[in-house]
Amino acid sequence: ARMGRTLVELFYDVISPYSWLAFETLCRYRHIWNIDLRFRPAFLGGIMQQTGNKPPAMLPKRGEYMLKDMKRMAKYYQVPLHVSPDAFQHIMGTSSLTAMRFITAIDMTSPQYLEPLSREFWMRFWSQHEDISQPENILAVARQAGLSAELSQKALEMISSPTVKDRLKDTTTEALKYGAFGMPAVVAHYGGEPHLFFGSDRLELLGSVIGEKWLGPVPS
C-alpha cells in the first residue's frame, strides 16, 4: 500500500450477486477514500465446502426474502443486477470454477483486464442470465471485456495448468485464513491487523473502522 493508504482486499466470485454490489461500490470509493483496492478472485464453492456453509436459498423463507433483497439492493446500489424468479436454480446449476480459473489466469498474465473482465462475467450471468461455465461463453465474455482473441485463448489453455489451479486454491485458502465463510469477503489492513467484513452491506462499517466517511453506495 502507498504511504498512509489502507489496503483493502476484495475476495469475490462472479457467481455471487452480493460480490458484484461490493465490487462496484468499492470501485466508486477507490478514488474517494484513501485506499488501495486489490481484487482477489477466489472460489466460493471451496469456501462453502471448507466452512460447512450452506447456500441461503436452502432455507425457503430466506430464499424468498433474498430475491426481494437483491432487487432492492440492485436499485439502491445502481448495479444492473436483474433477478429472475429462478435465480437460485440458475446458481445451483452453475459451477463458477472454470470462470474463476480463467479470471485468475488473466490476473496472473494481464491484471489490467481483471476489473473489466470480472464485471463482464457478472453482467453476463446476472444481467443477461446466460451461461458462464462453457469455454465458448467464457471467450465471449472476454471479447466483450476487450481482451484479444490471442490473450483469451492463452488464458483458456492456462486454466487446466497446476499454476492457475494452485493460485486460485491459495487465494481461497487466504480468504479462509482471514475468517471468510461466504462472499464477498472484504479485508481491510488497518492499524497493523486485518479486519474482515462480510457482505456488500458492511462497507459503511468498513469506512468507520478505517476512518473514512460513507457517502452512500453511489457517492457523487
Quote the Cα angle for 86-69-7, to 5°.
110
Going by their DSSP bridges, the two strands 35-41 and 6-12 should be labelled as: parallel
Q: Which three cell numbers stand for residue 26?
A: 468499492
Contact 215, 209 (CB under 8 A): no
Q: Which residue, 209, 207, 182, 213, is CA-closest to 193?
A: 209
Q: Which residue, 187, 38, 53, is CA-closest to 118?
A: 38
Tell me the C-alpha distance between 170 and 164, whole Å.
10
Q: What is the C-alpha radius of gyration for the chain, rounded to an integer number of angstroms?
A: 17
Active site residues: 16
Tell me 154's DSSP state.
H
Q: How many helices (H) and strands (E) does the chain have?
A: 10, 4
